[in-house]
Every structure is written in C-alpha cells, then in structure tokens.
Structure 1
Amino acid sequence: MVEYELDGHVAVITIKRPEARNAVNTAVAQGMEAAIDKLEEDPDAWVGIVTGGQTDKGWIFCAGADLKQMATDPGGMSTARGGFAGFVQRERTKPVIAAVDGPALAGGTEIVLACDMVVASETAVFGIPEVKRNLVAAAGGLFRLPRKIPRNIAMELALTGRLDFPAERAHHFGLVNHLAPEGGALARAQELAAQVCTAAPLAVAESRKIVIEATDQPDEVGWKMSGEGIMKMFGTEDFSEGLTAFAEKRDPVWKGR
C-alpha cells in the first residue's frame, strides 16, 4: 500500500491504493509509519517526499480516511506513534515535502499540512469536508490550516466543508511553495529536495527544528534555540568541511556527522 524508494539522498514515499483513491486504511497507516522509520533511520536519506500517483480515474494524492473502515474500526487508520495515516503526529528530524497531483482531501489535506513544504500541480485541490459527514477534521486540519493560510479563509473551509480550494489559490496564500503542470508535482518536488540536499543535513535538521518550535514563541526562545543550534554545528565534522570547501572554492562533501 505504501512504496519507499531511495534515489540518492531523497526518499520517495508513494501511497498506492488507487482502487480506493489512496484513502487511508490500516495498511496505509502502517506502511506510512514504516516508511518514515526508514527515512529517519537511514543515514543516506536526507529528505523525504510523500506523493500519490495516477489512477484510471486521474491523478490522486489522498482522499482521506477510508470511510468504510471508519464505520467499524476508526482507530485502525492511526498508529500509536504517528497518529492518523501513521504520519500526522509523527516526531521526526528530516524534512518531508508533499508532492500533490490531484485531490488531497480531508485526511489528505491533513497529511499535506504535516509536511514541511508543498509542491502542487494544476490538478491539485485541497479541502477539509468532515463537517459534511458530521465529523471533525481531527488529524490537525483545524489548527494547522489557519497557521498556513489566513484564519478567515481556513474558517470558511472548515465550516462549509468546501472542496474547491485549488492549488493556485493555495499557492497565493502560501500553503503551496511551488506550482507544477499536471503530472509534474513529483518531479518539481525532487528538484526542491535536491536543493535541500546541497545543504548540510545536520544543519538542515537543526534549522527545521528551530523554525517549527520557535516561530510562535517569544524572541528569547528563538535566540536561545538559535544559539544552541549553532553551538551544536561547531562540534561536527561537517562544520570543518563547510569552511574548508569554501576556502578551496569547491562544493562541500557532507557526511552528516
């Protein structure tokens, strides 16, 4: 149900349940958790990409929770460490990019919101329609979405359950980093991941942590975390490599230690 493929330093994680529009069931949740385990444990994997794929009905990222399973086993779509889809509550150190072609709805949008960056194609559309089924978007959508886009826009999407929030509008409000043509989200996400991989992986992980944990905190928290972060880098092999490569006018060769 979930495929993991390492290409250089980039791990591509693909949800593969086309017959159910990549809806999350137990197998998908467990597969996603296992894929993130591989990403976190593999020293050669520096960046992850989560994507869907093309089906006989067009492109699809994820249609959210499997409503048939929800009727009998709603807990089966979550894991203890990752929450919904084995992902939305998962603690991790490495950046993950969402590559969205086609709809990312309900829990699909919430998977996207749990990623660090988003690339979306012209066919991508987002929405949290849970209220239309007397449900609540409980996988992060109700508090993560208004952190990414203006609160009133997020409120409208949450209360109406509208399914017409396209990639272009999401890009306008800052939810999407880059737009791509139909079928091109993964390729553009791989380009973005390659840019991240030119930077030192330890510094990337530390910078990601500070952005996440300090953004909504008082400045003194940001100063403290930034100071601690740079001190960690001073004691690494890659710190010396970065300075040496600069002096020698060559690209650095990062070791991640």
Structure 2
Amino acid sequence: MSLTIQFPKTEYVLLTMPEPNILLVTINRPKQYNALSSSANWELHHVFNWAEQQDQVWCIVLTGTGDKSFCAGMDLVSVADDKKENDATVSLATMPPTGFAGMANRRTSRKPVIAAVNGYALGGGMEILVACNIVVATEKSKFGFPEVKRGVVIAAGGLARLARSVSYQIASELVLTGRIFTTQEAKVYGLVNEVIPNDANVVDAAMVYAKQITANSPDAVSLTKQGLLLALELGSVTDATENWLESSEATAWRSGYNLAEGVLAFKEKRQAVWKSPSKL
C-alpha cells in the first residue's frame, strides 16, 4: 500500500511509504557497499529533518540496497579524494551537525527508527545502529568499528552511544581492536533485537515492529522516545523524568485528543482510532 506524500528529491537514498505512517529509507549506493560520502550524509540529514515535519510519518525503517551491506561506513575513497584535491586535513567539517547519516549525533527526532540490516554494518554503519531504536539483522550480517585500523576515530556520535549501550569492557574490546563480529555476538551484546534467517526479508521483519509501533498513539510513542533520549543525556533519573514531564510535548500530550481517545476506547472495549499529532 502506498500513500500519497510528496517526497523530497534525493540522489543517494530511496524513499517510499509501503505501509500507512511508515517511511522506508533505503541507502542506495550498492557499488560502495552503501558507504556514505559527505554529500550522502548531508542528504540523510535533510531527509530526517523533512520526515520530522511530516504528519503522516510516525515511524521510520532504514535499510541499504542489495544483500551485501547495510552501510559500510564513511566512503573513505571520497574522503581521500577530497583531501588530495583540497590539500586539507580530513575533518568533521563536512559532517552534518546531526552526525553520521544525519542521525548518529545530535538527532533529537521523536519518531522511532528501525534498522533492517542485511550484510555489513561497519564504522559509520554501526554509528547508525546504536542510534536506532530497534535493529533487525540477518544471520550472515557482520558488524564492527574498524576506525582504528584506518587511522580514524568514531567521532560522529557512535562512541558515546555504544558506551551507554554495552559494558565498558565490551565497548573497549570492540572499538580498540576494530574487529568484525557476528550477528549472534551483536545479539548477545544487546545491539540487535532480532536475528532472522538469511533467506528471510529483513525489511519485512522490520516492518513487523514498525506496524506494532504505529498501532499505538503517535504522540504517546513520540513522548516516550523523548523520555528515552533524556534518560541517556541526563545523569539523574529525577532530572530526566522532570525535564521530560515538564516539556511542551508532555503538555500537548496531556491535553491532546489521543490520550482521551485511548482511555475512552479502553472503557468502551474497542480499538482506539488515533490521529496524527498535528490534528490533536
């Protein structure tokens, strides 16, 4: 099913809406194993900014074209070419403020993002994954932070997120050795939610989660994700909770249509009929 929505023009990603309220973003650089150049990073930054403003988008699924790679990280060939051409030191100046893929650093999107991984997720690809809410991956997929092997560091948001996701020792092992690890290991570390067979469709598997999410109140989901982000950013549980419940989003949720509708639907023993946040 496809809904009518005006997608922005893109060069490096494909945009579709295969299910109501679910945006599918597909990195489309298969010859580069879906590695991202500076331009591709900025394009994703703008795509996520655009999606944040779309009332019809309640959840996002992110994947890569083909069956070899989700995202192999930064396109180091393009980085090396730029450095040689401009005779300048490689830096993060070409990276958007939201980090790798427009989501790994200062991204405060309230819309859940689900990664559908079929193949390699390396470097920046891992920075994407640790910023996603849910990760589904095939058995054959491979993961890793090989930056130290290339003389670079994990500087687009992923290092801090990894340190909050796994133990200090596991994080240290993965980023200091730069080794590649399996989907099963990633599952044990808590970096992958579900492992599916290689012959299964990873986007379809991710859509199962997306449809479970979009079956819920969109503003309750949005506010809940905000609470998760604040819990990661603020050290105190009390501070995180107070900031969350005193936010303008929480105020809108309390007085909005969907809270009243959810309670009334429960009382009347029926399915709730949710409205997009702009229609509250």
Mapping of 1:1-257 within 5 angstroms?
A: 1-6=12-17, 7-54=19-66, 58-73=67-82, 74=90, 78-89=94-105, 90-163=107-180, 165-182=181-198, 183-215=200-232, 217-225=235-243, 227-228=245-246, 231-255=251-275, 256=277, 257=280
Separation of aligned partners in 2, 1:169 and 1:20: 25
Instruction: Please report how far the alpha carbon of residue 197 of structure 1 lies from its aligned counterpart in structure 2 after TM superposition.
Output: 0.8
Summarize deviations over 1:65-89 as a string: whole Å, max 9, x none: 1111112435689443422223322
* SS state at 1:179 partner: strand
Instruction: Please report how far the alpha carbon of residue 184 of structure 1 lies from its aligned counterpart in structure 2 after TM superposition.
Output: 2.6
Summarize deviations over 1:134-188 as a string: whole Å, max 9, x none: 111112232221221222111111111101x111111112111112122532111
Summarize deviations over 1:19-66 as a string: whole Å, max 9, x none: 111110134223312321232111011001110131xxx421011111
Q: Could you tell which deviates more after superposition, 128-137 or 182-191? A: 182-191
* SS state at 2:71 partner: coil
Aligned residues: 253
Superposition TM-score, scaled by structure 1 size: 0.90
* Displaced runs of 4 or more, over 6 A: none
Q: 1:150 to 1:27 in 2, by over 3 A?
A: same
Summarize deviations over 1:84-111 as a string: whole Å, max 9, x none: 2233223312111111110100111111
Superposition TM-score, scaled by structure 2 size: 0.83
- Give the gaps of 5 or more residues in structure 1: none
Aligned CA RMSD, in angstroms, stands at: 2.0
Q: Given that residues 25 and 76 in structure 1 are in contact (C-alpha distance below 8 angstroms), is that contact kept between their aligned partners in structure 2? A: no
Separation of aligned partners in 1, 2:158 and 2:60: 21
The AA in structure 1 aligned to 2:238 is: E
The AA in structure 1 aligned to 2:35 is: A
* SS state at 1:71 partner: helix
